Structure 1
Amino acid sequence: MQRIASNRHSGGSRSPSPLLTFEDIAPSNAETMLCSACQRIFAQTPRPLAKYDRLWVDIAANCYVPREEATRLPHHPTQQSFDQAVQDGCFICTKVDVAPAGKPVKPSSSIMGINSQRSYWQSLVKIISMETDEAHHATLRYKVTVYNVCEIGEEVQGRAKSFFMVPVRGRKPELNVPANGRLSQIKKWMTACCRHHEWGCVKYRRHEWARPSRLINVGPRGQDFVSLELFENIRDLDVPYITMSHRWLEPRPPVLERGNMAKLMRSGVSISSLPRSYQDAISIVRYVGIRYLWIDSLCILQDSQEDFDKEAKRMGNIYAGGVFNIVASNSGNWKTGLFSNRTDKGLIPIVQPSWPDIGNDKVFAINPEGVDASERILLGRHLYNRGWIHQEVHLALSNLFCTERQLWWACLEGTCCETYPGGLNEVFHGMGYRTSRLGIIRTLVVPEINPPFWHKLHKKQGDQTFESRLFVYAWLKLVQIYSGSITTQSDDKLVAIGGIVELLREWICTTRCNPEPGYFSGMWRYCLLEQLTWCAYGSYRANTLDCRWTGTYRIPTWSWASINGAVFYDHITGEEYTHDWILPGASKPSKPLAKILSLSTTGLDPLGRTSNRNILKIQGATFPVSFKTRELDPMVWADIEYNQSGSIKRLGIQIYFDCSEELLEAENDQSGYIAMPLLLQESKQERGLFLILRGIVLHKIGDDEEMQLYKRCGYFDSRFTHWSRGELILNTIAKNPLVKDDSVYSVDDIYLIT
């Protein structure tokens, strides 16, 4: 066992290099990034701009109109000129939502009973002053909306795309990192993260992490090989290293095996024999002044199951303990490196509008409305569906995402990219951008991290449900993202998150004072009722089902991992346009309607490879299910019957089958299905306040009357728009009046689910 040492990475002793200033960027790149029609928007003949409260748009007349006087602001005169601008790569035109793009509008033969052969296509522009600073006579932001309008007969159709114009001076001058400045920018990001992100990143690095068994010594610049070193032979136990997340390539690159380990340690491996992404990673590590790199294929023995199992358990520590993690999002083959091909025209346009009354700021950057920095976008098509990747990026403190278009830096305290190297939070203040929730798991693993007050993750005084809500939110968000992934080896489905499980087990033992947290096939004994309410994503969204998972070990039907496909938790919020860490509100937590009695299992197994049946013993009320149609779909309407004041009542529910096998079985025989309510939850939605009854659908296995053994077949819910009806149902199915302290209700039925 390696000695656990504190891991403190300073990123160098020198002070951080200054960020880019306005003088480092070209005053304007409109000529290279915008078509002539878009350039005319900002270089038009000076005239007063209409105020927002005086502005309205007459689409039929193809103009923007102040109330007092009409002023045209045309864009492309013809669809052909617009299509050419799109083909030439105009920044604005390529983002405008036009339908049908690139094709002439076909007039309808009859609209509203009137025959017509007339059609035309035009575009217009609307400009709104969004924010001003009267004291300094400066406009802080404009909103530019480009409309594409077509008229067919008597019908006018329009599509639009909005952009924000933000002053370069005064808000964020760091824009458009030049292609030859990428390495220096990565070092600036790393240095700022290591030195100045005190509340989150610095504390995370100071945590004690188990060290890797082996590391790759990249050597000095100019050396044409890298070598393998055993960690036990490295004198500095606190040595910094960088990790890498990548997709395994075909043909397989050089890997570490028992037969070549001595050679890799003695003479190393030639850099030219490695994929381009590996070579670029070595260049990054050398440039930022770090000596060691960790890549799974070269640091884990690929022909030893024993070594794989040992390293898999500590994988969470390995990625969490690195200075940062290089994510090869765009590297799908040997020739594709980490740096995308870029021209010199920049990533976003910078313009100098010749408008009067524009204030002191004369240079503006054109930003698309909303920027998608979600995990799906940053990982890209090559990595998002790869099982191991999610664990790596969730536990690494900082991730350098090398995407198809540009580099992204995401850490606990912000998100940056080559377009906005100073960070998105400042540039998009008040505009919003889509971000991921990569930091949530880390706040559990390292409880010393205390987000600043402006985040919404802090614990409120007297909040007794904070820890459980935080755990449920973090774990279920991870399951939603991870469940749809695949692993090269089918048996690695639960192994690939074993590192996170190991670290969360330590958190549960420390925070909840529970010596045996219990983890069973992807499900925690802690807060298990909430985890049981998973729904097959295909059943919920796509109306198509996957099959049951098959492997060398068994996964019980009550676990989300028992199906080959993504799962969905309806009560867990999605990714939002905000940089805040959102935690569900503490008001009225879910009311439990069942009680977990026991789990027959061998105990905690971080790798998920349990050898027994994992029988869940649960106490709760159940109700017979009657389907409303003979032809069943992945989602089907049904009724459950319950007794109210001596009469039989019916409650409509929606059932979502778990997998194709369960749907086929129900189609052949619809008898014998029962519904077990698990939770009653308050949900605040756009249409108002809802009560949602959530539960699972069960079906008996075998004919043994003494052994009441069931399997899970699906998930169900029912929504109430009024509290009174929800409370009535709750009292009925619980068989007892509500208990004031919200404790679990007394029920008589006990079920075994396998």
Structure 2
Amino acid sequence: MLCEICDQLSVEKLVGLFIDSDAKRTAPYYRLPDGAWLPHHSSYKNLVASAKNGCEFCNEIWASCKLSRHHYRQGDGAKTRDYDSVEKVLQSLEPEDVSGNTQLEVCITSSRIASVESKRRMDTLVVRVGRFDLVVEFKLTCPREENLRFGGYRIGRYDISPDLGSDASFNVAKSWLSTCQEQHQETCVPIQPTTLPDRVLDVGNSKVSKDLQLLETSGTQGVYLTLSHSWGDPAGVLQTTTQNLSQMIKHIEFTTMPNTFQDAVTITRKLGYRYLWIDSLCILQDSRTDWETASVKMGDIYKDSALTIAAAVSTGSNGNLIHVYEQPPVPILHNSLKLNASGDSHRPVSIRRKEKYEDELIDGIVKSHLATRGWALQERYLSERILYYGKRQLYWECRGLLCAADGDEPDKYNENQFWRWHNRPQDIQKLTPNSTAAGITPSKYMEFCSTWYSILEQYSKRNLTVASDKLPAISGVAAQFAHLTGDKYVAGLWERDLRVGLLWRCEEPKNSRRPREFRAPTWSWAALDAEISLGYSERNVGGTLHDAEIVGWDMKMAGRDPFGGVESGHITLNGYSWPLLKIDGDISKADIEHDVYFGHPIFDVASEGNSGDMADAYFDTANQRFICGWKETKADEIVEIRPESLTLFLVRMIVAIGYTGERIPDPEETDTPHFNRHAHYGALILRAASGDMPLYERVGYLSMYCTLSRYEKAWTKSTVTIV
């Protein structure tokens, strides 16, 4: 039952007001102009009376007003009472403030205001109470087949089944597949037979749980799917070994597989495919040789698959992909909003109270549990098509479409969070490294390197169960970059861009860790378990003669994969350095004499990137505090501050900061770093390594803001080898 006022609400009226008020030009969403609002009940008191009299929509508005949820106020944002219920806010006001100022108004818009124009979708009803602009939100939904449109806008999100294994859910997945194959010829690589991986799981032709076996393909052609999942406890994962391989080839009992595998088999069958690749089943888990062989091919396995099934929320192999989402007890007012003001009887739009923390596209993909796992990054970046099984619905990702089952899509305010690199169809051509390298322009190479650094920053935030997988887990992406650029891979960096790549920094040293076992040279980001960042956007400064020269480097791989684990390595640089003194204590107690023009200036620089007078220091681990230069070494006599001798090695100018109209010297005019110019320089902080050889280890990164001519006597030409 609806009251007379609610019964007269219509999409036609609300959209008309929105368009006439020019609300599409107003942002953010709580700044919708008054002209976009349709009057509802004249007071909150009348709303409550209507709800008690049986109006279902008024009752839902009243119920929402009593819930604790975020609301907005136009005008002075400081007065907004976040997370107070509307009713509590009203009760806290003086009677004279409430009297006559609680009229209700309704507006139609999008859950994100930018989506109104960028996606041409309206999926939200907003109800506000009085001039206080206290608002509650309701979600509009409709059947997928209705595809409602009004005034050039799509109306509502799609109704979705809470059962991710229902026919309705599989029909949505099939429609995405069909759309990709039929309409994305210019953006997506078509599904076609390719060389199968060395082993695949043959799920049979039937849709029942039988006829499962491991198939050794011997290079045969076919179409297959891949599974991207989090193992969780390895004890709960069904694994193929040299001992059970023959039995797995004969038959695999469906019921012996963990839930994730069972569901992946069911999905493969329902979508009409026969072959499925699952890492723990298709790689011999007790054979280092088989693992190394497969890891070299891992990138191509995901890239060539027709579709990757992603277990987005499962924390282990026993988690369910296909499950029934337990919906919160929120009433849905089915067919309760008219399309036309004329009062047609057909009402395909439903109204539902919006949950406070409702899953959206970004939650299902970018913020999912799978997105925290290291191996899953390259599985996402290299897969052509991905079908995500989330908490409450399905999600889809290919180059031509990114959306949720309910129709949610990225908008211009959050689309960069969904960014992922993958080859364009024209990049897939089988070019030799030499021909690729010969044809790539400097600007295109710089673009590829910037992309690589963006990927590393994302990757460094993810977790790995096995620490030694740091380089192997991203080797597939590295192999693709090598194919496209023709460049040589150097323990996570690129030879032609080493001067930039060496200047990575650790964002949170207190959370970083250096494994006891060797994993990569200290100058590589892969040597740390830490969140890293690289200044890839500050790359437009031309080289100068005081930039470090890469004399040479050498790398010994731990296996057969040229993009995988590293056994040892070093790099030799020729350039300018000056001595530093690290003080683990209060720098004011050091009483170090210095002369900023003729001696070694003090850098009063806290670690972890806090700015000092002249520089920012980012140590690789948390056991560093201050760093400074010195003129005399009497600081050694002060026991409390425990000084340590380090070396600052200049790598390159990052940003030139000249005066307006100042001419930038050409490299041939600057044979030393001492020209009179303000600039921003990147340098490595080095510590002498133990042993007989004069070697160094990287312990941090430092950026300086200074005129180098002031410290001419501080710099000395030197050659260093870093391990």
Query: Alpha-carbon deviation of 1:627?
Result: 8.1
Q: 1:70-469 alignment to 2 at 5 Å?
A: 99-101=82-84, 127=107, 146=126, 168-169=148-149, 175-178=158-161, 179=163, 180=166, 181-202=168-189, 211-219=196-204, 220-232=206-218, 237-250=220-233, 251-266=235-250, 268-333=251-316, 336-342=319-325, 352=337, 373-374=361-362, 377-378=364-365, 380-420=367-407, 424=409, 433=415, 435-438=417-420, 440-443=421-424, 446-448=427-429, 464-469=441-446
Matched with 2:566 is 610
Measured at CA, do residues 231 and 712 of structure 1 come closer, stay the same or move farther in structure 2, by a change above 3 Å? same
Measured at CA, do residues 698 and 257 of structure 1 come closer, stay the same or move farther in structure 2, by a change above 3 Å? same
Question: Is 1:659–2:621 an aligned residue pair?
Answer: yes
Measured at CA, do residues 44 and 605 of structure 1 come closer, stay the same or move farther in structure 2, by a change above 3 Å? closer
Matched with 1:725 is none
Asked if the contact 2:305–2:384 (Cα under 8 Å) also holds between the matched residues in 1, the reply is: yes
Measured at CA, do residues 142 and 259 of structure 1 come closer, stay the same or move farther in structure 2, by a change above 3 Å? closer
Say which SS state the counterpart of residue 227 (structure 2) adopts.
Answer: strand
Matched with 2:512 is 546
Say which SS state the counterpart of residue 504 (structure 1) adopts.
Answer: helix
Measured at CA, do residues 100 and 352 of structure 1 come closer, stay the same or move farther in structure 2, by a change above 3 Å? closer
Letter in 1 for 2:477: I
Question: Is 1:752–2:721 an aligned residue pair?
Answer: yes
Asked if the contact 1:146–1:162 (Cα under 8 Å) also holds between the matched residues in 2, the reply is: yes
Asked if the contact 2:226–2:308 (Cα under 8 Å) also holds between the matched residues in 1, the reply is: yes
Mapped partners of 1:162, 1:435: distance in 2: 26
Query: Alpha-carbon deviation of 1:519?
Result: 2.5
Matched with 1:595 is 549
Say which SS state the counterpart of residue 201 (structure 1) adopts.
Answer: coil
RMSD value over aligned CA atoms? Answer: 5.7
Query: Alpha-carbon deviation of 1:664?
Result: 9.3
Letter in 1 for 2:391: E
Say which SS state the counterpart of residue 614 (structure 2) adopts.
Answer: strand
Matched with 1:506 is 483
Q: Deviations over 1:237-285 (max 9, x none)?
A: 320000001111444232211122111212x112122222222211221
Asked if the contact 1:141–1:165 (Cα under 8 Å) also holds between the matched residues in 2, the reply is: no
Mapped partners of 1:751, 1:193: distance in 2: 53
Q: How many pairs align?
A: 611
Mapped partners of 1:144, 1:349: distance in 2: 15
Measured at CA, do residues 71 and 522 of structure 1 come closer, stay the same or move farther in structure 2, by a change above 3 Å? same
Match of 1:674 among 635, 642, 648: 648
Say which SS state the counterpart of residue 496 (structure 2) adopts.
Answer: coil
Question: Is 1:710–2:664 an aligned residue pair?
Answer: no
Matched with 1:564 is 529
Measured at CA, do residues 433 and 95 of structure 1 come closer, stay the same or move farther in structure 2, by a change above 3 Å? farther
Measured at CA, do residues 641 and 105 of structure 1 come closer, stay the same or move farther in structure 2, by a change above 3 Å? farther
Measured at CA, do residues 418 and 117 of structure 1 come closer, stay the same or move farther in structure 2, by a change above 3 Å? same
Gaps of 5+ in 1: 1-30, 110-114, 131-138, 450-461, 510-516, 573-583, 633-639, 684-690, 720-727, 736-745
Measured at CA, do residues 119 and 656 of structure 1 come closer, stay the same or move farther in structure 2, by a change above 3 Å? farther
Measured at CA, do residues 56 and 464 of structure 1 come closer, stay the same or move farther in structure 2, by a change above 3 Å? closer
Mapped partners of 1:273, 1:87: distance in 2: 51
Q: 1:504-543 alignment to 2 at 5 Å?
A: 504-509=481-486, 517-539=487-509
Compare 334-343 and 215-224 and name the one that shifted more: 334-343
Q: 1:566-645 alignment to 2 at 5 Å?
A: 566-571=531-536, 588=540, 591=543, 593-602=547-556, 605-606=561-562, 608-612=564-568, 614-623=569-578, 630-631=585-586
Matched with 1:457 is none
Matched with 2:54 is none
Mapped partners of 2:426, 2:274: distance in 1: 27
Compare 362-371 and 392-401 and name the one that shifted more: 362-371
Mapped partners of 1:55, 1:609: distance in 2: 53
Mapped partners of 2:469, 2:42: distance in 1: 58
Asked if the contact 2:295–2:472 (Cα under 8 Å) also holds between the matched residues in 1, the reply is: yes
Query: Alpha-carbon deviation of 1:702?
Result: 5.4
Question: Is 1:471–2:457 an aligned residue pair?
Answer: no
Mapped partners of 1:94, 1:475: distance in 2: 40
Mapped partners of 2:273, 2:17: distance in 1: 53
Mapped partners of 1:441, 1:198: distance in 2: 16
Mapped partners of 1:537, 1:527: distance in 2: 21
Mapped partners of 2:573, 2:406: distance in 1: 53
Greater Cα radius of gyration, structure 1 or 2: 2
Relative contact order: is structure 1 or structure 2 higher (C-alpha 8 Å, sep ≥ 6)?
1
Mapped partners of 1:70, 1:558: distance in 2: 63
Query: Alpha-carbon deviation of 1:159?
Result: 8.1
Measured at CA, do residues 346 and 336 of structure 1 come closer, stay the same or move farther in structure 2, by a change above 3 Å? farther
Mapped partners of 2:3, 2:618: distance in 1: 53
Query: Alpha-carbon deviation of 1:317?
Result: 1.1
Query: Alpha-carbon deviation of 1:298?
Result: 0.9
Q: 1:26-41 alignment to 2 at 5 Å?
A: none
Q: Deviations over 1:122-146 (max 9, x none)?
A: 896574889xxxxxxxx96669685
Mapped partners of 1:55, 1:332: distance in 2: 41
Compare 602-611 and 279-288 and name the one that shifted more: 602-611
Say which SS state the counterpart of residue 488 (structure 1) adopts.
Answer: coil
Query: Alpha-carbon deviation of 1:301?
Result: 0.8
Gaps of 5+ in 2: 52-56, 73-80, 111-118, 431-438, 588-593, 604-612, 629-640, 658-677
Q: Deviations over 1:85-122 (max 9, x none)?
A: 699899x9967577235699699x9xxxxx99999998
